Chain A
């Protein structure tokens, strides 16, 4: 994933309404009208959120029916999760190395038997 699209994915996920929309779509495709209901948002407001999600590649438009329901695309989320784990690993790896270094010092300290 390019840095731009990763940024878009995290940007899209940063909003609680958009996360709630994704959670709904995880249960199955939904028409725009069905999505608007729980959030007390106008149709245009929901459409705006959906556009952000579509740009991030998290939502696609199903062409099957007249209703053109929205469906979840999971791949970018999976990559975002990989990236998050990598960020945590960045620190963990450093601390693993610190651990190893400290062990080395301890060994040097121990006088030979």
Chain B
């Protein structure tokens, strides 16, 4: 079982002292890129805030003494936050004060530190409150879930901009977006089509909600079977959803792909539906999430540089074989 391999890509939260909250998470992106996403308004607008929210930036002066003020828009509700930048050490650290409109006068100090570790960037957050009561109020506000969702969105944005090799499929369906959306998001409908025609497919668990999981099993004609799992992240009906895909046993523990040892334990996937006047275009983009030795390279060799690398080799090979006939 390899469940622990996913741990760096989930937010870990702990309390180093009575007045502090610490959080940590890793991203598969270079440190410079992650750092920029914390300071550039275009990037912040794409990830700052829980799933399904929108960000309105009312002030943003990333220099020592500069102000920041963000309003998180969740449907009809708005939540305002603001503060002042205390320190900006490029690619290493950002320190700022933080105040929530809902608790005026309660100012905390938060820092983010960026560490490059191989292909990963680990970010450590530390928030220091005026007293224990303020810290506890924050802990009980659902902040852990909100922050976790926000960093999941950052991860998706990083994959979008990093130019990482992607496995990509685009398909058009002669049906409106609403129909295609329901085919994914309603269990009975999903079970009707999910999985190859050559296998017997069974949906074992189905919780197509943010944070939920979908567990399925495919039985091959030779009797062997292969299980898989979606770990759902942001779902924006009816246009887009993000999820991790792992091979899994029937209890939902992550297992190695049965076909290749170096296949990534998890891939990060985004499905986007676009309305083409009553028809629907579906785009599936997939990138490797875990980065054990060889995994990303394997994925790249297979999909990322199909034309220049592997594909080129196969072209040569075909010419070689043709020449020998």
Seen from chain A, the residues whose Cβ lies within 8 Å of a Cβ on chain B are 3-4, 6-7, 10-11, 13-16, 19, 22-23, 26-27, 72, 74, 77-78, 81, 83-84, 87-103, 105-106
Contact = CB atoms under 8 A, between A and B. Distances in A.
Q: Is the interface of A mostly helix, strand, loop or mixed?
A: helix
A74 B193 contact: no
Interface centre among A10, A95, A105 (most CB of B within 10 A): A10
Interface in B223-268: 258-262
Interchain residue pairs A-B with the least CB separation, the first 5: A14-B297, A97-B193, A102-B175, A93-B196, A14-B301
A62 B144 CA distance: 62
B75 to A, nearest CB: 30
Nearest to B282: A95
B86 to A, nearest CB: 44
B169 interface: yes
Contact of B320 (A72, A81, A84, A106): A72
A13 to B, nearest CB: 5
Interface in B170-197: 171, 173-175, 179-180, 183, 189, 192-197
Contacts of B169: 88, 91-92, 95
B317 to A, nearest CB: 5
A96 B197 contact: yes
B324 to A, nearest CB: 9
B301 A10 contact: yes
A16 B197 CA distance: 35
6 contacts: A14-B297, A14-B300, A14-B301, A26-B313, A27-B320, A87-B302
Contacts of B301: 10, 13-15, 19
Given A14-B298, A72-B320, A91-B284, A99 B173 contact: yes
A77 B314 contact: yes
Given A14-B298, A94-B195, 4 more contacts: A22-B317, A77-B313, A97-B197, A101-B183
Contacts of A87: 302
B64 interface: no
A102 B261 contact: no
Contacts of A83: 259
A102 B179 CA distance: 7
B175 A106 contact: yes
Contacts, number: 110
A7 B259 CA distance: 7
A7 B258 CA distance: 10
Nearest to A95: B171
Contacts of A14: 262, 294, 297-298, 300-301
Contact of A26 (B258, B262, B310, B320): B320
Contacts of B171: 95, 99
B262 A93 contact: no
A85 to B, nearest CB: 11
Given A19-B310, A102-B179, A11 B173 contact: no
Interface in B110-162: none
B262 A11 contact: yes
B65 interface: no
B7 interface: no
B192 A101 contact: yes
Nearest to B284: A91
Contacts of A84: 302
Given A14-B300, A77-B313, A102 B173 contact: yes
A106 B261 CA distance: 42
B319 interface: yes
B319 A26 contact: yes
A10 B296 CA distance: 12
Nearest to B280: A102
A3 B226 CA distance: 13
B103 interface: no
A102 B180 contact: yes
A7 to B, nearest CB: 4
